[in-house]
Amino acid sequence: MSVTLDQLEQWLIAPSEGEHLEFKEAKNRYDFEKLVAYCVALSNEGGGHMVLGVSDKPPRKVVGTKAFDVPERTVGGIYDRLHFRVTWTELTHPDGRVLVFSIPSRPIGQPIEYNGRYLMRAGEELVPMSPDFLQKIFAEGQPIFESRIARSGLSAEDVVRLLDTQSYFDLIQLPYPADRQGVLERFARENLTIAGDGTYCVTNLGALLFAKNLDEFEGLARKSVRVTTYDGNNKLVIKKDIVGKKGYAVGFEGLIDYINGQLPSNEVIGRALRESVPMFPEIAIRELVANALIHQDLEQPGASVSVDIYANRLEISNPGLPCIEPDRFIDEYQTRNDKLADLMRRLRICEEKGSGIDKVVSSIEVFQLPAPEIRVGQMRTTVILFAHKDLADMSRSDKLRACYQHCALRYVLSEKMSNESLRERFGLSNRQTDVASRIIALALDEKLVKLEDPDSASKRYARYIPYWA
């Protein structure tokens, strides 16, 4: 299907290039070999469009391009090198010529290589595919991880010995069946077990959630959650280091209790009485641990969810990179493990789709803590909760992060950020409007937030929305 001018206009206002778009100015020319390499990367990522004649960074605008004045010859050259067909569309925009190459997705289970390299995009660069990305492609067409067999050739007695069946019925709030056959039938309906010819198999989903001991399932023991408590603010001295044995569902409450027990407390004074309060709200810990379990890349061998506890922060990390941009966690949702996520929600271990992070940010604001930070590494995603800091001790990035998250949270709750709401978030008095105004100005400069009504003359009653709204 040809790209239209209307489609182009929609792409121009998108907040980011996204998974299937790549913009290049290419005002006069563009290197053919680089175009071929981008075709490889986009095909490996599921197909997309290479758009020439548009500025690279938002706010995007058409600048026009003179590159590849004979597109038929260009796509012919691409076919000679890659052996798949790329189509092209030439658009006559009021601000100049735009040339769009539409790249198909690679075949299922087959990454595309060029000059001996399997390419993918990483920011503005093209890089060789990471091992986990390649592994994920080669695994396509196979059963998803949750449906694969963790252990086979089991008797009914073995299933009940290996899995905590009682916990399932307690969590799902159903009475325990009168006989073992009723238990096994229910587990089979949930894809936790598979009945064979007189024997049973336990799926990865069944073992991950309900194993009494994950060590009993070869290949899943390394999926256990690890909790490490450090003495101080760095990794130099380890106080405790434990690895859980139970499945995620049966061990979740014990895991949360253990984490809370390792956390330092904050001591506050109220009405002449000293009171110890948790360093972090429990709802935030519950949701972040549950999210790490749900969103982990289960295909990564030898990698597990980790919880690192320091004197001044809590770090919760999972193997795998996020499916969406981290700054859209509050308003968007996508998981790579649908069966795991669905059952954990029905077991009431985590919130409904997309509401968990809202509760994390909201509870952090109630405690008036620094905003959570999300760090994306080469192979892992980490969320960090920080101990209390006075506003005066917060860094510029702390303030910007808090302002943006507050604005995004208000927006998804059908409200708008104002100077007053931001003062309340930071615990500022009515006389400190200038402090909140300076933080908002920083966020505006960084294009994290924007005015709801740019034409409004009143700054006092101004309302703000996130940049993507």
Q: Where are the domains of the chain?
A: 5-138, 145-221, 224-386, 391-466
Q: How far is CA 102 from the centre of its chain?
A: 27
CA distances from 311 to 40, 174, 297 (A): 46, 41, 29
How confident is the model at residue 18, as a pLDDT? 66
Asked whether 316 and 287 are in contact (CB, 8 A), the reply is: no
Cis, bond preceding 59 (omega within 30 deg of 0): yes
CA distances from 291 to 245, 258, 350, 418 (A): 19, 18, 8, 30
Q: How far is CA 232 from the centre of its chain?
A: 29
* Weakly modelled stretches of the chain, pLDDT under 70: 1, 15-19, 266-276, 352-355, 457-458
N- to C-terminal Cα separation, the chain: 29
How confident is the model at residue 14, as a pLDDT? 76
C-alpha closest to that of 56 among 23, 99, 12 = 23
Residue type at 28? Answer: N
**Tokens 């690895």 label which residue?**
243
Partners of residue 373 on adjacent β-strands: 384
How confident is the model at residue 331, as a pLDDT? 82
Report pLDDT digits (tens) over 7-32.
999 899 876 666 689 999 999 999 99
Asked whether 319 and 303 are in contact (CB, 8 A), the reply is: yes
Domain at 5-138: CATH code? 3.30.950.30
C-alpha span between 461 and 451 (Å, rounded): 11
How confident is the model at residue 144, as a pLDDT? 87
How confident is the model at residue 223, as a pLDDT? 95
391-466 and 224-386 share a CATH fold: no
Residue type at 233? Answer: N
Sheet-wide strand order for 96-103: 21-24, 48-52, 96-103, 87-93
How confident is the model at residue 448, as a pLDDT? 95
How confident is the model at residue 300, as a pLDDT? 87
How confident is the model at residue 143, as a pLDDT? 84
Asked whether 231 and 239 are in contact (CB, 8 A), the reply is: yes
Domain at 391-466: CATH code? 1.10.10
SS3 286: helix
How confident is the model at residue 270, as a pLDDT? 44
How confident is the model at residue 49, as a pLDDT? 96
Max distance between CA atoms of the chain, in angstroms, equals 82
Enter the tokens of residue 140.
């396509």
Asked whether 396 and 445 are in contact (CB, 8 A), the reply is: no
Enter the tokens of residue 55.
């500025």
- Fold of the domain built from segment(s) 224-386: Heat Shock Protein 90 (3.30.565)
How confident is the model at residue 139, as a pLDDT? 77
C-alpha span between 436 and 391 (Å, rounded): 11
Burial class (CB in 10 A: 0-12, 13-18, 19+), 109: exposed
Report pLDDT digits (tens) over 181-212.
999 999 999 999 999 888 999 999 999 999 99
- The phi and psi torsions of 122 (rounded to 5 degrees) equal -140, 95
Contacts of 2 (CB under 8 A, 6+ apart): 89
Enter the tokens of residue 216.
């009993």
C-alpha closest to that of 93 among 63, 50, 56, 55 = 63
